[in-house]
A = this chain, B = another copy of it.
């Protein structure tokens, strides 16, 4: 059972399962709530006002809040648990140093790369003929900023100073003085965190003074008509004369449109957005910059740029402040990109002091895999193909209204569907429904360990009649009807084979890394499923089909849009950004196409693992362990 939380004043709406704390839900939604204890109920700083919905008063609330506050709906958000839809007001962050809980439970001190410094300069006279630029530099120097500037600032300089009695706000990004603004504009200081996915693009406008996400939105990447995956996008640049320029124009258009919507919605001026941190896979970031991605796509798979870079938003036509700077995070390799580095940052995989071994998998057309701890980390990319995204699956579709996202088969042979959008007729199967459906068919004996679907004649008497009825043949291929006969949504033998190839590739990639590190599933402290798809997979089912190694179900954790979360962290803290930029130094990238053993392992893991007693336990529909970002 999920509830809807509406956060004010940003009007961010998130769905989260019963039992989630408001603090966690806000965190997953990218909204910062003041806190110094990190959500342990001990600092009393994380109070929010629940204006609609049910939030019982807890002991900690009485300790930190006055009776009047309690009456007015104030609660400590880390103690307030969801039992209904609700509307929650989050106060602005106060005090300094400011911190926000971001990512996978990380407490990030706000330390943005953008600084706004209000200057009241002495006016020049015949005894003080210091030039305008030197005057500004000297004042900034006093505040600890040693800056460069460029022609756009120089051109504005004499008039902006004289029109404002030499009272201006300097906007410094890194060590670049990008603008002087009339008067004191320190309150208006924003950046954007952007995750450019092959399928969808997420953009969040973040208040750099408070850490609050002021507006966030995702949209389809408008490159999609040129191919669903990176390979077809690259092909387009190779086959069409101006294909690269076309694709670049499309992603810039996507971003500018998102900026238009977000600024309209939030009332924030484009001119007050001074920086962006962008993540995405190597191909997406190459296309964004108009760099030929072809060498990424053919052996030996070389990106033009893997290191973090900074450029002017205007260089690629992004409509922010004209001198806004965009920084990217580094790529680990041609197919483990900055989005994964951001995920590593958000999950702390390479830095957690517990030194425990974690496996991070971002499941998609490519399965990006990271295995490690503070003691050492490996990463690779496994080509999973499009099955998880619903392509090449007979009734496959994107995770949108009408898609089956969960499947449960009872002992009586009843098939219960979880459908996006609730009580509607199903129109197809999303990736998570595919995983769940096949896992349930395997548990129910409709499919055997080799992935072969049972014949009707073998099923009779062995399986409940209700299941046998669902075994059909379509164009000579065996299939299993998930829906009622009217909707007629089926999973075919071919669909199961496609899923086996996809999960087999990822499982083989994981196995290669585990072998190289000399560890087994028993050594894994957590398996983190990332990405908008990975987060929605039922962990038990993922384990049942062998997509992830066999670990206790509680160890399989959805981490939401960890890429976007990492981008936000890097935007809000320059120190965290520097840490992210150094992540490649601590990670060994393993190129699977150079590995002889990969194919052997792949063949071994194509089958489903032997069912354990634990796997045979009746399962529940999957609810996210904490509120995963609604995007």
User: Given B126, B151, B304, which contacts A131 in the complex, CB threshold below 8 Å?
Assistant: B304
Whether, in the assembled complex, A58 has its beta carbon less than 8 Å from a beta carbon of chain B, the answer is no
Tell me which residues across on chain B come within 8 A of A280, comparing CB atoms. Answer: none
Whether, in the assembled complex, A597 has its beta carbon less than 8 Å from a beta carbon of chain B, the answer is no
- Contact across chains for B151 and A315 when beta carbons are under 8 A apart: yes
- Contact across chains for A304 and B154 when beta carbons are under 8 A apart: yes
* Cα-based distance from A125 to B591 in the complex (angstroms): 11
* Cα-based distance from A100 to B316 in the complex (angstroms): 43
* Cα-based distance from A300 to B127 in the complex (angstroms): 8
Whether, in the assembled complex, A134 has its beta carbon less than 8 Å from a beta carbon of chain B, the answer is yes
- Contact across chains for A295 and B155 when beta carbons are under 8 A apart: no
* Cα-based distance from A157 to B150 in the complex (angstroms): 25
Q: Which of A128-166 contact B (CB under 8 A)?
A: 128-134, 150-151, 154-155, 157-159, 162
Whether, in the assembled complex, A291 has its beta carbon less than 8 Å from a beta carbon of chain B, the answer is yes
* Cα-based distance from A155 to B301 in the complex (angstroms): 17
Tell me which residues across on chain B come within 8 A of A431, comparing CB atoms. Answer: none
- Contact across chains for B292 and A159 when beta carbons are under 8 A apart: yes
Whether, in the assembled complex, A502 has its beta carbon less than 8 Å from a beta carbon of chain B, the answer is no
Whether, in the assembled complex, A261 has its beta carbon less than 8 Å from a beta carbon of chain B, the answer is no
**Interface-lining segment among A167-175, A305-313, A399-407:** A305-313
* Cα-based distance from A157 to B294 in the complex (angstroms): 12
Known contacts A126-B594, A594-B126; is-contact A291 B154 (Cβ 8 Å): yes
- Contact across chains for A302 and B124 when beta carbons are under 8 A apart: yes
Nearest B residue (CB) for A311: B151
Q: How far is the CB of A509 from chain B (nearest CB, A)?
A: 16
Whether, in the assembled complex, A303 has its beta carbon less than 8 Å from a beta carbon of chain B, the answer is yes
Tell me which residues across on chain B come within 8 A of A295, comparing CB atoms. Answer: 132, 158, 162
* Cα-based distance from A303 to B157 in the complex (angstroms): 10
Whether, in the assembled complex, A621 has its beta carbon less than 8 Å from a beta carbon of chain B, the answer is no
Whether, in the assembled complex, A613 has its beta carbon less than 8 Å from a beta carbon of chain B, the answer is no
Whether, in the assembled complex, A289 has its beta carbon less than 8 Å from a beta carbon of chain B, the answer is yes
Total copies of the chain = 2
User: Given B124, B130, B158, B316, which contacts A294 in the complex, CB threshold below 8 Å?
Assistant: B158
Whether, in the assembled complex, A239 has its beta carbon less than 8 Å from a beta carbon of chain B, the answer is no
Contact with B along A96-136 (1 / 0, CB 8 A): 00000000000000000000000000001111111111100
User: Given B134, B151, B307, B334, which contacts A307 in the complex, CB threshold below 8 Å?
Assistant: B134
Whether, in the assembled complex, A243 has its beta carbon less than 8 Å from a beta carbon of chain B, the answer is no
- Contact across chains for B305 and A157 when beta carbons are under 8 A apart: yes
Contact with B along A439-463 (1 / 0, CB 8 A): 0000000000000000000000000
Known contacts A154-B289, A289-B151, A295-B158; is-contact A133 B304 (Cβ 8 Å): yes
* Most B C-beta atoms less than 10 A away, residue of A301, A306, A333: A306
Tell me which residues across on chain B come within 8 A of A485, comparing CB atoms. Answer: none
Known contacts A300-B125, A594-B126; is-contact A307 B155 (Cβ 8 Å): no
Tell me which residues across on chain B come within 8 A of A127, comparing CB atoms. Answer: 594
User: Given B129, B302, B593, which contacts A302 in the complex, CB threshold below 8 Å?
Assistant: B129
- Contact across chains for B304 and A157 when beta carbons are under 8 A apart: yes
* Cα-based distance from A309 to B291 in the complex (angstroms): 30
Whether, in the assembled complex, A386 has its beta carbon less than 8 Å from a beta carbon of chain B, the answer is no
Tell me which residues across on chain B come within 8 A of A477, comparing CB atoms. Answer: none
- Contact across chains for B594 and A307 when beta carbons are under 8 A apart: no
Nearest B residue (CB) for A126: B594
* Cα-based distance from A158 to B292 in the complex (angstroms): 7
- Contact across chains for B311 and A132 when beta carbons are under 8 A apart: no
Nearest B residue (CB) for A128: B300
- Contact across chains for B131 and A307 when beta carbons are under 8 A apart: yes
Whether, in the assembled complex, A290 has its beta carbon less than 8 Å from a beta carbon of chain B, the answer is yes
Nearest B residue (CB) for A159: B292
Q: Which of A271-300 contact B (CB under 8 A)?
A: 289-292, 294-295, 299-300
Whether, in the assembled complex, A226 has its beta carbon less than 8 Å from a beta carbon of chain B, the answer is no
Tell me which residues across on chain B come within 8 A of A155, comparing CB atoms. Answer: 289-292
Whether, in the assembled complex, A598 has its beta carbon less than 8 Å from a beta carbon of chain B, the answer is no
* Cα-based distance from A404 to B629 in the complex (angstroms): 85
Whether, in the assembled complex, A589 has its beta carbon less than 8 Å from a beta carbon of chain B, the answer is yes
* Cα-based distance from A530 to B162 in the complex (angstroms): 36
- Contact across chains for B134 and A306 when beta carbons are under 8 A apart: yes
* Cα-based distance from A380 to B311 in the complex (angstroms): 42
* Cα-based distance from A361 to B594 in the complex (angstroms): 72
Tell me which residues across on chain B come within 8 A of A129, comparing CB atoms. Answer: 300-302, 333-334, 589, 591
Known contacts A151-B311, A151-B316, A155-B289; is-contact A126 B302 (Cβ 8 Å): no
- Contact across chains for B307 and A133 when beta carbons are under 8 A apart: yes
Tell me which residues across on chain B come within 8 A of A309, comparing CB atoms. Answer: 154
Tell me which residues across on chain B come within 8 A of A301, comparing CB atoms. Answer: 126, 129
Tell me which residues across on chain B come within 8 A of A125, comparing CB atoms. Answer: 300
* Cα-based distance from A594 to B307 in the complex (angstroms): 55
Q: Which 4 A-B pairs have the closest CB atoms?
A: A131-B306, A126-B594, A158-B304, A132-B304
- 17 more contacts with CB within 8 A, not counting A128-B300, A130-B302, A154-B291, are A124-B302, A125-B300, A126-B594, A129-B333, A129-B591, A131-B303, A131-B305, A132-B304, A133-B306, A133-B307, A154-B289, A155-B289, A155-B291, A157-B304, A158-B292, A158-B294, A158-B295
Can you give 6 contacting A-B residue pairs, CB < 8 Å? A132-B295, A132-B303, A133-B306, A150-B311, A155-B289, A158-B302
